[in-house]
Structure 1
Amino acid sequence: MADDAEREFNERNIEEFRANGGKVGGQFEGFPLLLLTSTGAKSGEQRVTPTAYFDIEGHLYIVGSAAGRDRDPAWAFNIRKNPEVIVEIGADPPKPATAHEVSREERDRLYAVIVEQAPGFGEYEKRTDRVIPIFELVTD
């Protein structure tokens, strides 16, 4: 579960995202972010999380890096149990989507592309022994 500081950080970024047509400053300046609304795996409550995304070969992907922590982010647990999500990108209205975790082989191929686009994800991978998951978001 996210601690209070992380929750407040996310809430500020969500507000900024929605107020500025999908743009967020600070450490996220110029980085493609979306808002992912998932259903809590245990609580059943709606959870909104700002998440980096990658458009690769016309497909939309999110990465469960958790900045290299040793556990997948909560949203990854949520979408494994409840893959129907809502995605907000830029100023576009929210869209329903289905999240699919990619196979290990596809994940390894995509992760190399992601690290080329955002080298920090290579650092995240070095910080943990877990395999960082990648999910494709297929909009309905």
Structure 2
Amino acid sequence: MADELSGERDFNQRNIDEFRANGGKVGGQFEGFPLLLLTSTGAKSGQQRINPVAYFDIDDRLYIVGSSAGRDSDPSWAFNIRAHPQASVEIGADPPRRVTVRELPRDERDRIYPVITERAPGFAEYETRTDRVIPVFELQPAD
């Protein structure tokens, strides 16, 4: 498990570095896919955590999905933003901006998720790999 976690952190760091070096563009499996960098506060550690996350602009609102590629548990960043909903995002070459993250209640989530799977069919596949309800979060501008 420690090796898997270390490998995932290395993978994330390479994508973070590539994102920042290329104005928000990342190649490989993420090429052409809208990614942002989410900086959250660790639920237990209190330390800043940065994760590359796919995002969706739907009706002028930004959403991120806690798919964890269909694993049986939510990604660590989901636990972090539930504990500390104040976060920041980097999109493209724009400077970081503060957001408040709101987990969608089930009815809202169920209305948005089909739009997400239409745009990114892999998220429909993720849903078949797990019994959990894959959470969707809205990124709201922080005032």
> Which category describes the TM-score, using the shorter chain as reference length?
over 0.9
Q: Distance in 1 between matches of 2:61 and 2:77?
A: 20
Show structure 1 runs of 5+ residues with no match: none
Amino acid at match of 1:114: I
Q: Secondary structure at the match of 2:130?
A: coil
Distance (Å, rounded) in 2 between the aligned partners of 1:109 and 1:123: 18
2:83 to 75, 81, 91: 81
2:60 counterpart of 1:49: no
Residue matched to 1:13:
15
- Provide the rounded CA distance (Å) in 1 between the counterparts of 2:81 and 2:117: 23
Aligned to 1:139: 141
Which of 74, 90, 96 is residue 98 of structure 2 equivalent to? 96
What is the RMSD of the two structures over their aligned residues, measured on CA atoms?
0.9
Q: TM-score, normalised by structure 1?
A: 0.98
**Partner AA of 1:63 in structure 2:** V
**Structure 2 residue runs without a partner (length 5+):** none
TM-score normalised over the length of structure 2 = 0.96
The alpha-carbon deviation at position 37 of structure 1 amounts to: 0.2
How far did 1:131 drift?
Answer: 0.3
Moved over 3 A (4+): none
Please tell me the residue identity of whatever aligns with 1:127. R
